[in-house]
Chain A
């Protein structure tokens, strides 16, 4: 009997290698779990039939192109779109024999922090279905926590992997910008977008990262990264941890979140790490404003392709211009429309320097502040999300309140740095996420610290309502 709620990918791999289960049995176990639990959660937009083979199952966020499997990016603009080629990350998964369980729900074009912006309806949090799973990758995060996949791929522009992992209580990595190919991935903001792994353990997360990372000739922004080591050290002797004041004392951080993160920091000291307070004076104060100029500006350009000409939805129109404008009206939801207009405005004649140009200079300030801290520290820690999972609808009508969900994840994303979410406890019965940030290409250090803390914390990743 396979218990998908507790089985790790590493455990599943062992079972396969020892011949105790077949690939087909493993795939069927997750399909059964989906049949039982996903009607309530809606983590998946599309479920696949078993493609055969003998590898591990995996779920893929629906912004990542999968040959022969519908890919909608959570948008009506791409309803019915079936890619004719695989994204590089999917091709690498397939080359490892991984079998795609299905495509997971996302805020439309990965724009959102709750998965409520999906054109196909929201995903619910496995810990409490009246609450959001975070976003944009709420589908992948909910699927892993609810045992509907051993692991999953997500994508992260300003927090779309880390924040849902925090709200669902699992491990998510936003890799160093440039280490994972975006070829075949629906583009949102190209100087920020990264694909990354969502998993139940840090070791699973590290393994999946090693599968997808590396230079791709089809994405000229990619570089080779250092070889990935699966973490096994349970001590933190010699590790220098910085605690940036502004990320840990920001307005809006719930007391229960603060307490759980402080307890994890105390534990790091017990494991031998040196811990010191530090400061990112401008990164947190100006990060959100910087991000909400750069990301919409790039999105307004990337989303110009949804014009009804080559693929996706086409609305009727008497002439070409009317067809394009109606297609975009009917196909795109409110959040993409807001960001397209904001970005178009920020890039338009007379405003370019004041908005986009200024934001790019602020981006340099944020990079430099982080660089200076990494002369003294190996890793920075903070909460990943200021709050635990919030109720569906709580922020849906107020875009600015929703944007604040990513206050603590955005600065390091803007700086191109890797970040790992590790669950560090519960507040009000809901998971709290610890964010670990390192310099570029420091994934091994993040995995090492994350693994040691994970072992010492002993967080139970199975939601109470599924335990019996």
Chain B
């Protein structure tokens, strides 16, 4: 099938890691390139089947719209919300400059 490649090169590993916001060491890049290539080769098996008339399944239950009344409920107190925060500034999570 078009688009399926058996393997992933070093630049693609770095590209995907950037998309996923993962810093990788050189060792990790080499290890993951080899392992991901083997895994991609194995999962490419899905392209063997003729699926032209088969619709996709996104969810195993055929549910349509789970309705709920739009009733306000109390949310967590702010001290709970920030209880696990690495850094806080008043009612904000504090992070390094962008």
State the A residues within 8 Å of B (CB). 80-82, 84-85, 177-178, 191, 217, 220-221, 223, 282, 285-286, 288-290, 292-293, 300, 304, 307-314, 317-326, 328-329, 332, 334, 337-338, 340-342, 344-346, 348, 350-351, 353-355, 357-365, 367, 399-400, 403, 414-416, 440
Contacts and interface: CB of A to CB of B under 8 A. Distances in A.
B93 A361 contact: no
Contacts of A342: 36, 39-40, 43
Contact of B20 (A300, A415, A416): A300
Interface in B41-98: 42-49, 51, 54-61, 63, 66, 68, 76, 80-81, 83-87, 93, 95-98
Contacts of A322: 96
Contact of A365 (B4, B39, B54): B54
B74 to A, nearest CB: 12
Given A309-B86, A323-B96, A354-B4, 4 more contacts: A309-B93, A311-B86, A345-B36, A365-B49
A332 B21 CA distance: 12
A348 B81 CA distance: 33
B12 A337 contact: no
A282 B49 contact: yes
Contacts of B2: 354
B46 A290 contact: yes
A365 B46 CA distance: 11
Nearest to B22: A328
B17 interface: yes
Interface residues of B, number: 57
Contact of A319 (B44, B46, B83, B98): B98
A360 to B, nearest CB: 3
Contacts of B96: 317-320, 322-323
A68 B2 CA distance: 51
Contact of A328 (B4, B21, B39): B21
B39 A84 contact: no
B73 to A, nearest CB: 10
Given A354-B3, A354-B4, A337 B32 contact: yes
B46 A308 contact: no
Contact of B76 (A84, A324, A416): A84
B43 A320 contact: no
Contacts of A290: 46
B38 A400 contact: yes
25 contacts: A82-B83, A178-B63, A221-B61, A289-B42, A292-B42, A304-B21, A310-B84, A310-B85, A310-B93, A323-B96, A328-B20, A328-B23, A337-B28, A338-B35, A341-B20, A346-B43, A351-B3, A355-B3, A355-B46, A358-B1, A362-B46, A364-B54, A364-B55, A400-B42, A415-B60
B30 interface: no
Nearest to A85: B76
A286 B60 contact: no
A206 to B, nearest CB: 22
Contact of A286 (B46, B95, B97): B46
A342 B7 CA distance: 11
A344 B16 contact: yes
B44 A289 contact: yes
Given A191-B60, A354-B4, A325 B22 contact: yes
The listed residue with most B CB atoms (<10 A of its CB), out of A326, A341, A346, A403, is A341
Contacts of B45: 285-286, 289
Contacts of B95: 308-309, 320, 323
A268 to B, nearest CB: 27
Contact of A289 (B1, B3, B43, B93): B43
A338 B36 contact: yes
A220 B56 contact: no
Contacts of A304: 20-21
B59 A221 contact: yes
Contact of A293 (B12, B43, B76, B98): B43
Contacts of B40: 342, 345
Contacts of B61: 177-178, 221, 223, 416, 440
